[in-house]
Chains A and B, each alone.
Chain A
Amino acid sequence: MQFFIEVLLGGLLSGVMYSFVALGFVLIYKASGVFNFAQGAMVFAAALSFVGFQNLGLSFPLALLAAFTTMVALGILTERVVLRPLVNQPPITLFMATIGLSYVIEGLAQGFWGANVRGLELGVDDVPVQWLMDSTGIGVSSFDLFGAGVAAVLVALLALFFQYTRIGRALRAVADDHQAALSIGIPLQTIWRIVWAVAGFVALVAGLIWGARNGVSFSLTFTALKALPVLILGGFTSIPGAIVGGLIIGSTEKLAEVYLGEYVGGGIDSWFPYMMALTFLLIRPEGLFGEKHIDRV
């Protein structure tokens, strides 16, 4: 039982890590209906910029500020150069544009900061919490707990932003209907700039957490793969959905790998979450918290 609890807890905390990346997808999809394929590249570029600025001699807060500014600039530039010319184009066109964008971001980041793999320290040890280990025998990493805390704060901030600020309400209006939002004077381009900048900030947080866990390298772009089943499960438009979806995917993939893996050759955590998400799609296509879309025929 103790081992089961440890696997479950570990899975839940891993799920929080997936949610960080999923949040970036949700933000952009919610506000613009664009599935941003470049989110993984943004996570990589954000973490690489932060470490790059640190290597230039900037202190932690200054490097954070510089990386944040970079991501905001990238968001604004994306709106200006990629999205604005494609207003009113079909969603698939915007999606294809973000595929191209991902290559551009990856190339620019590596071209500017170099391809070297770097370490990233946030000052939180990734070791088991000793008192918990001594009293229960269950190993839970202090870094994972830190990650969960950061996720909680981030979700609370985003929820407050969307619910209680004027810009947040405008974002929701744009998400519901571009044309209607424009007709009542909501500036679409400004809203898109803001949402891409916020997605850049979320990418920076995700990049810092994942970078501190595995190092800052090109492989950070792969974190997007972990977020996709989370999105399918939690819904593409729900911030709480990204968190709950992450928790479900994280815990079930770990339990499946540990208890079923050996019977099917192991290494199932790459496809099990997708299988689960697809099964879930059959039952609830809009995801757990996604908005049910009803079209007038």
Chain B
Amino acid sequence: MKNVIPLKKTLAAAVFSVAALSAAVGDAFAQAKEQFIGLPSYRVGAYAAGGSGLYGGWIDYMAMINERDGGVGGVKLTWEECETEYNNARGVECYERLKKKGSTGNSVFQPVSTGITYSLLDKVVADKIPMVTIGYGRTDAADGRVFPWVFPMITTYWSQATTMVKYIGAKEGGIDKLKGKKIVYLYHDSAFGKEGLTVLEKQAQKYGFSLVLLPVAHPGNEQQSQWLRIRQEKPDWVILWGWGVMNPTALKAAAKTGYPREKMVGVWWAGAEEDTVPAGDAAKGFTAAGFSVAGPNYPVIKAIQDNVYKKNKGNMEDKTRVGSVNYNRGVVHGIITVEAIRTAQAKFGKKPLSGDEMRWGFEHLDIDAKRLKDLGAEGFMPNLKITCADHEGSGLVKYQQWDGKQWKIVSDWIEPDREMVRGMIEESAAKYAKEKGITPRDCAKEG
């Protein structure tokens, strides 16, 4: 009898160990079939209104992929938000906090802030984590030979600025009609605002228009003096390169000084409902650039509504914002992330991917017209083809006009001045490479 108890204990211990081991293996297996995406978001603070829309769209798209398709290639998408409040120091802290999460670590970092992007340029190279900056960030990072880990995708600020000139030219009856015209560049007095300066000065030289520069100090909630200058200058067009409260303030001030809003073209960060609604009637007729469009009438948005919101799993508290400009931008972030995973899985297998493997996926991303149609995003965003040398991949921009209630598309996808922009990108990237002692990659040798 004396031996029975130990035997029972041994058996119990063995059963417990097997069960625990099974559970652990099960957990590990489950964990192994998950792709972790770290999201540095801003849902509180000065820019919370835009942030809540963007991250809502992004998360809803990934949730839809999990609900409808069971993840990407059988690998479930998981994510965790980290609040940056659009603050550089917090952004870097979030990067550090998120980078070790998930079975393969954080496989991509998308800061949604030019400031945070600049702070992490060296870190992402050391940590082998690709950094994707859609519609913001450092423009010359589009030269993938010098910046292999950074992807300023779809359109950079420089490409956008040249499409603005093309759009204005078309409105004037042809680009040659810009000769002798006057354009005011009303910009946020920051690195973001100054990003469009050089290329617009070059465009002014090329097409013969004069450019008047009017900086607005942060946050831009008082613009009386700038608009009195505009009244004095009597420009043919005003380019509004604003951010946050600067945008509705500019629209209100334009109305106050009697400047027609139809003659104002905004950067895409001036082209959301959050920019026009506070300005009320003063915003009517204002046009802004976009790398995606507004509206819920796209199959991809319908898929989100059917697979996520009908199951009460949507991220947006205010469901009327589904299909708004910032929400749709978030969906674009989701599409690009998921398509990069899909591309990388085709090479590395249907498993959780490391940052290095994800980088390969981003660098071989090819979202053509057929793929866009399959995704339900035809007309929703432009085609995108990333290569080793070109990390921008598109450059196309569409223009939307605020009719007092919603954004209406008023142009087709407009091509940038590729020759000028690419030349500037290569020149600037080469200078950066020299400063940092980087030897540019030979793309002919890249797989």
Contacts and interface: CB of A to CB of B under 8 A. Distances in A.
Given A119-B279, A267-B215, A14 B224 contact: yes
A61 interface: no
B278 A119 contact: yes
B66 interface: no
A222 interface: yes
A101 B111 CA distance: 29
Interface stretch (B5-13, B227-235, B334-342): B227-235
| Interface band, chain A | 35 or more
Given A119-B280, A214-B249, A219-B46, A114 B318 contact: yes
A84 B248 CA distance: 40
A7 B221 contact: no
A127 B258 contact: yes
B226 A257 contact: yes
Given A219-B244, A267-B215, A269-B217, A126 B278 contact: no
Q: Interface majority SS on B: helix, strand, loop or mixed?
A: helix
B9 to A, nearest CB: 54
B317 A217 contact: no
B257 interface: yes
Given A117-B274, A126-B255, A218 B46 contact: yes
A110 B222 contact: no
Interface in A257-285: 257-258, 261, 265-271
Interface in B40-86: 43-49, 51-52
Nearest to B257: A139
Contact of A115 (B43, B219, B225, B277): B43
B391 interface: no
A139 B248 contact: no
B48 A218 contact: yes
Contacts of A210: 221
A192 B248 CA distance: 37
Interface in A99-124: 107, 110, 114-121
Nearest to B272: A117
Nearest to B225: A257
Interface in A140-163: 141, 143
B213 A219 contact: no
Contacts of B44: 107, 110, 115
B219 A222 contact: yes
A11 interface: yes
24 contacts: A6-B231, A114-B317, A115-B44, A117-B248, A117-B274, A126-B282, A127-B256, A128-B257, A143-B256, A214-B245, A214-B248, A215-B245, A215-B248, A215-B277, A216-B278, A218-B48, A222-B46, A222-B219, A223-B221, A258-B228, A261-B229, A266-B214, A269-B222, A270-B217
Nearest to B46: A218
Given A14-B222, A139-B258, A141-B256, A266 B213 contact: yes
